[in-house]
Amino acid sequence: MSDDTPSEEVDKQAKRKLIFEWTGVLLISALFIFAGFAKLNEDALINIRKAIIAATGLQYTTAEFLSRLLVALEIGIGIALIQKNYRKKILIPLVIVILTGFSIYLIGNLSQEDCGCFGSWLPITPKAALAKNIVLIIIAILVFKFHQPVESNKIVVPAFILFAALIFTFSHQGMKKEPDNKFAAINELDTKIDLTKGTRVLAFLNLSCDHCKDRATELAALADEFESPPPVYYIFMGDPDTIEDFMGETGSDYPYLRIIATLFFEYIGEAPPRIYFIADGQEIRHWDNADFNIDQIKKILQK
């Protein structure tokens, strides 16, 4: 039986809570700061920008801004956590929100070899990163629970740290100018074909659309009329599990990319399909289903 008085026991519990809080805070802080600085380079920011475009369909400039904002938040929150002002009211909830958002993204990308969470400094698989995030979320919730009240919260302290992190990040890695290319977002998502050089036929097709299948069948037949495969590229929207059936049904063997609906609809009219002819990244002309003419495309490709 303990000889401690009730007040001494309360003091010991408070001390244990304080030790746990600081242990959790320092762990989260260190990982956030490390992750932020690991991604504070051009290659890592490009990968983040591509991930944002692929997941949300946002345009280049917005994704470019958000890539730096995320890095700045990681660094800023990591540093701000070390001080106690608004730790419970703002910082820890922000940590939980950010980790939850990252985890949702990771769940949809478990097949990748490296999630890029720590840039090139520390490759980590999405599954390992997801496990890390779950552990950190649990620790953050416990830190929130065990947080020792602050007599006088001063918002200016964490606000200054976050603002300084923003200034540092954007000054260290300024935003890149959007390429003068209507199809820059598509080019960002797939580097197998450079859409900024040469001539290309881009066919925006809905995988469940009968008209799209008809147009794809006509485009696929062009391959028999050229010695080498014509520069035709499919941009799909729809269930990825149906791509193989679509390609088989239409006799197609062209390279393709699947994108989310919000980005897809930025490139088409009222309804798919829409087929573009581009040269050096610039649109020369396009066809919708009603005015599609395979002979025109054939003549263009033969030039």
What angle separates helix 60-80 from helix 42-56, to the nearest 10 degrees?
Answer: 120
Identify the burial level of 72 via C-beta atoms within 10 angstroms of its C-beta, where 0-12 means exposed, 13-18 middle and 19 or more buried: buried
Q: Where are the domains of the chain?
A: 6-172, 184-302
Q: What is the 3-state composition of the chain as percent helix, strand, coil, each rounded to the nearest 5?
A: 55, 10, 35
Q: What is the pLDDT of residue 295?
A: 87
Q: What is the pLDDT of residue 151?
A: 67
Return d(Cα 71, Cα 32) in angstroms, integer.
Answer: 9
Whether the bond into 273 is cis, omega within 30 of 0? yes
Residue at 195: amino acid letter: L
Give per-residue pLDDT as tens, 46-105.
889 878 877 776 777 888 899 999 999 999 999 999 998 999 999 999 999 999 999 999
Give per-residue pLDDT as tens, 234-271.
999 999 999 999 999 999 999 999 988 888 888 887 78
Length of the chain: 303
Closest CA to 30 of 94, 93, 81: 81
Q: What is the pLDDT of residue 284?
A: 81
Q: Which is the CATH superfamily of the domain at 184-302?
A: Glutaredoxin (3.40.30.10)
Of the two residues 114 and 189, the one the predictor is more confident about is 114
Closest CA to 202 of 178, 224, 232, 172: 232
